[in-house]
Amino acid sequence: MSILSVISISKNYGPIKALHDVSFEVPKGSVFGILGPNGSGKTTLLGIITDVLKASSGNYLWLGKPGSHEQRKQIGTLLETPNFYPYLSGTDNLAVAAAIKGRGANDTDRVLEMVNLFQRRKSRFNTYSLGMKQRLAIASTLLGDPDILVFDEPTNGLDPAGIAEIRQLIKELNRQGKTIIMASHILDEVEKVCTHVAIIQKGVLKTVGTVEQVLSSTHDENLQVINIASNDLTKLGAIVREMPGISAVQITDGAIELTTDSTIDPAEINRYCFEKGVVLNSLSLKRKSLETSFLEITGKKSDR
Amino acid sequence: MIQLLRIEWLKIRSYKTFWILLGAFVLLFPVTYYFSASKYMETINTRTQESTMINSILGAPFVFPKVWHSAAWFGGLFFLLLGMLFILLITNEVQYRTHRQNIIDGWSRTDFILAKSSVMVCFILISTLLVFLSGLIVGLVFTPSSSSASLFEGIKYVWYFALMATEYLVLAFLVAILIKRTGLAIIIYFTTVCIIDNLLWILLTLKDSQLGYFVLLEPTDSLVPNPFKPSMLERRKASDTSLLLTALAYIGAFGYIILSSFRRSDLKT
């Protein structure tokens, strides 16, 4: 059974369609990324499945049943920004959340330790830095050790070390068998953390599936991308344009991106350039990234 | 309900403004009331012709049985402090977005309204108890031993106060839920209570009409009229029961709008 079924959800704000007929299933045990540019409808969708927003049409099921507040007690959710009482300490804020979830307050220390906030647990929330507020919000989602977690931009406001830590935590939670639904506009994050991805653009679901499926759906099997560089890019560009099997040459920032037949071995390019009198100082076969797929799926900048 | 109240207590027990406004009501009302009574009785006891006349017109407002009436009226004067506090407690949730978080964490929309209602009930109980105690103490101190009035005659004014407190708080609740922004909500609440309500009363009591007594907060205001207004100036003919029922109808209607609007709406800031 799916953890979450989103069934034909639409949301209109007057004439603006924030979501249009969005449907997908979140399988158990997945890290499900909802990817889209800012303003694409990710948070609106998460708002609907957590009942803070009302869908204009369509519905959703958690574990096969219509959403209810009793189910939400079993789901840890961080929506948009950390929402806490500024005059209460970290511990007291978590005590409120734990009481609403119907859990004892004795779990707060455990979750505060999990996000490295235990030392500052008695400080008031309004004295926390942006990163600490985000950590507290993540700690709050972990209260009662729920099997389902919903994160909206979980690494927002964190420093690079914090980002790595939270990504690690998400992977660890997933290893423990938890299902994680995560909205993000950071492609790299989704690619590093998620097993599944849904791409939303202007409120429309563009594609959904495992990360591999989404990558391969836009992948032309007969082509590959190779990056090369030398001390003289202009000369290098002129040489490789004449090499057979090269279909496109693009000079980018300090390197040249070649689109070639997939039959061409990078070593051949190296040899060819050397024979033509140019020594390469960099050569790499570029793996197709989710970024490339994302840009292909969502189109040009002006469309986004 | 008790569990919801317990959670509300976790939220407000460290909130300074809560203690300041509640403290202001709990101190200012009884102290002002006691000193007004003391000053009045001092003047009356000079036994000049003028003071005796005033007392006979006003009917000894700080002595049993009229003391309950004056206590309820004085309580009403200071009650806007609690109205303002109640608005703050609701609009703060919107400002901090914790009204969303409470729902996300597992409250139903109805739970949220019931939780705030439980705080409202506490405010009503505390303020009514304070009116009762203030009336009792002032009555015991200033009623001459020769008086034959029974202690609890006229105690209905304490219940009228409770009804007034309820209507004022339910209106505050409604304004806070619909307006959401703290400053604007407080301005609209005060404007309604202090200006609009009285203007409507004036307009609708022209030419001896009784309609003005049934507008917004007037039913409960009229149940506890100014005790220093000589009864011969009273123009109200509408019965206490009709005002009481109207007040209950307003409370019910406001409550219905609060619940249905909060259950239907998107929780945005």
User: Is there a contact between B107 and A97 if contact means CB atoms under 8 Å apart?
Assistant: no
| pLDDT, average across residues B25-44 | 92
**Three-class secondary structure assignment of B52-105:** HHHHHHHCCCCCCCCHHHHHHHHHHHHCHHHHHHHHHHHHHHHHCCHHHHHHHC
Q: What is the CATH number of domain A223-287?
A: 3.30.70.100
B75 occurs within a structural domain? yes
Choose the weakest-confidence range: B31-45, B96-110, B136-150.
B136-150
Expressed as residue numbers, the domain containing B27 is 2-264
Q: What's the number of domains chain B is made of?
A: 1
User: Is there a contact between A47 and B266 if contact means CB atoms under 8 Å apart?
Assistant: yes
> Angle at the Cα of B245 (from B242 to B247), degrees rounded to 5?
110
Q: How far is the alpha carbon of A253 from chain B, nearest alpha carbon, in Å?
A: 43
CATH of A4-210, one of 1.10.260.40, 3.40.50.450, 2.70.98.20, 3.40.50.300: 3.40.50.300
Put residue A146 in one of left, alpha, beta given phi > 0 → left and psi -120 to 50 → alpha. Answer: beta
> For residue B237, what pLDDT band results from cuts at 50, 70 and 90?
confident
pLDDT of B11 over the 70 cut: yes
| Residue A179, SS3 per DSSP | strand
Chain B positions in Cβ-Cβ contact with residue A100 (cut-off 8 Å): 7, 102, 105-107
Q: A211 forms bridges with which residues in the sheet?
A: none
pLDDT in tens, A43-94: 999 999 999 999 999 999 999 999 999 999 999 999 988 999 999 999 999 9
Write down the residue that tokens 């709406």 correspond to.
B265
B269 occurs within a structural domain? no
CA distances from B141 to A145, B37, B41, B59, B144 (A): 60, 10, 10, 17, 8
Whether B212 contacts B125, CB under 8 Å: no
Chain B positions in Cβ-Cβ contact with residue A52 (cut-off 8 Å): 100, 103-104, 266-267
- Cα–Cα distance, A166 to A170 (Å, whole number): 6
Domain ranges of chain A: 4-210, 223-287
- Comparing B77 with B151, the larger pLDDT belongs to B77
Q: What is the pLDDT of residue A302?
A: 45
- Cα–Cα distance, A143 to A37 (Å, whole number): 30
Of residues B100, B106, B109, nearest to A79 (C-beta): B100
B56 occurs within a structural domain? yes
Whether A289 contacts A187, CB under 8 Å: yes
Whether A31 contacts A17, CB under 8 Å: no
B205 occurs within a structural domain? yes
Q: Within 10 Å of residue A284's Cβ, how many Cβ atoms?
A: 12
Q: Which of A100, A127, A143 to mutate to test the interface with B (most CBs of B within 10 A)?
A: A100
Q: Can you tell me the ipTM of this complex?
A: 0.90
Q: How far is the alpha carbon of B109 from chain A, nearest alpha carbon, in Å?
A: 9
Residue type at B22 in one-letter notation = L
Chain A positions in Cβ-Cβ contact with residue B106 (cut-off 8 Å): 69-70, 72-73, 100-102
Q: What is the pLDDT of residue A304?
A: 46
- Cα–Cα distance, B195 to B201 (Å, whole number): 10
Q: What is the pLDDT of residue B212?
A: 87
B201 occurs within a structural domain? yes
| Residue A249, SS3 per DSSP | strand
Chain A positions in Cβ-Cβ contact with residue B10 (cut-off 8 Å): 92, 95-96, 99
Whether the CB of A50 is below 8 Å from some CB of chain B: the reply is yes
Chain A positions in Cβ-Cβ contact with residue B16 (cut-off 8 Å): 87
Has this prediction a pTM greater than 0.90?
A: no
B260 occurs within a structural domain? yes
Of residues A77, A85, A95, nearest to B104 (C-beta): A77
Write down the residue that tokens 């309950």 correspond to.
B68
Rounded to the nearest 10 degrees, what angle do helices B109-142 and B156-179 cross at?
Answer: 150
Q: What is the mean pLDDT of chain A?
A: 88
Q: What contacts 24+ positions apart, CB below 8 Å, involve B7-10?
A: B7/A96, B7/A99, B7/A100, B7/B115, B8/B115, B8/B116, B8/B118, B8/B119, B10/A92, B10/A95, B10/A96, B10/A99
User: Is there a contact between B266 and A101 if contact means CB atoms under 8 Å apart?
Assistant: no
Chain A positions in Cβ-Cβ contact with residue B90 (cut-off 8 Å): none
pLDDT under 50 in chain A at which residues? 302, 304
